[in-house]
Structure 1
Amino acid sequence: MEKYKLCRLCLTQPLVSYSLLDKNGASILESLTSIKISKEDNLPKRACLKCWLNIKLAYQIQQNILEADKKLRSLNFEDETDEIIDTVSSEDDNIKQERFEIIHKSEPDVDHVEADDAPNPEYHSIKVENLTEDEVLIICETDVNKQNLMSLKNRRSLQ
């Protein structure tokens, strides 16, 4: 088997192959794998049709992801996240602290969040319903600021 007739990527001996030195093949492969192909190395410089199409597709996916990341970073989401954290973590002495139990469960045809009055005025139950099958029952108790909770509920309803 002559090494120059092998596909550089899968080691098959294809009937039809494409030069990795043409059409930016070497730079695409290097950006995906860090493998450098040069005219001077003593290795195959061709790819079979399947591998050629796969690296072109992988490169397109990579470029789409990089472009999406660039656009998201230009929107300054970091600043917005900091603002939300500051709002939730800031404490106001005039606001009464209450205890909440957050229950996530799935029930058909319900897509809202409601706060139920509990026997103890310091203890409330919040049901978050209409979740996907992948979500599980989660119960936790936490001290939260009622005003911040309402603010978070309003943000969720806007999404």
Structure 2
Amino acid sequence: MRLAASAPVQRGWSPIGQPHQIVPQPHCRRSVLGALDYGANTLIHQIHSASIKRDTLVQFLEQVAQAAEPGKPTVVVLDNAKIHYGIDEAILHRWLVDRRLLLLHLPAYSPELNLIEIVWKHAKYHWRRFVTWTKEPIDAEIAQLLGAYGSTFEVRFS
């Protein structure tokens, strides 16, 4: 999920006879990696200020594998982002053997099959406060928002 600090300017106004002027604001965007435990309705997430690379994804999936209940199979559903492919076969084999964790890639153009997309939609458009954040509080705001999933914020998938 990507979350920007403020929405793009759609309209503006200026006094009669004066040109329209906009003061540029510093760009503040965050990327979030998340894993939804559908059974327990809990969310594991990480916030990143830079673009997410494959190494970051592998570290996150390692965290998901460690959090998985031993002995029970865990299926991680992935969309078709480029970083979701090309994970080393030895790592995939270790996750499967040690943690019974399996990656399932969805068909192209089918976000409706990935339940976490519904959570991201609610987080972006329903739960978050619509304020312009600066770089300092955006991490705390996102952490508080996503940390409250399961208690304050919740999606029922029934």
TM bucket normalised to smaller: under 0.3
TM-score (norm 1): 0.22
Q: Which has the larger radius of gyration?
A: 1
Q: Which has the higher helix share?
A: 1
Higher relative contact order (CA 8 A, sep 6+): 2
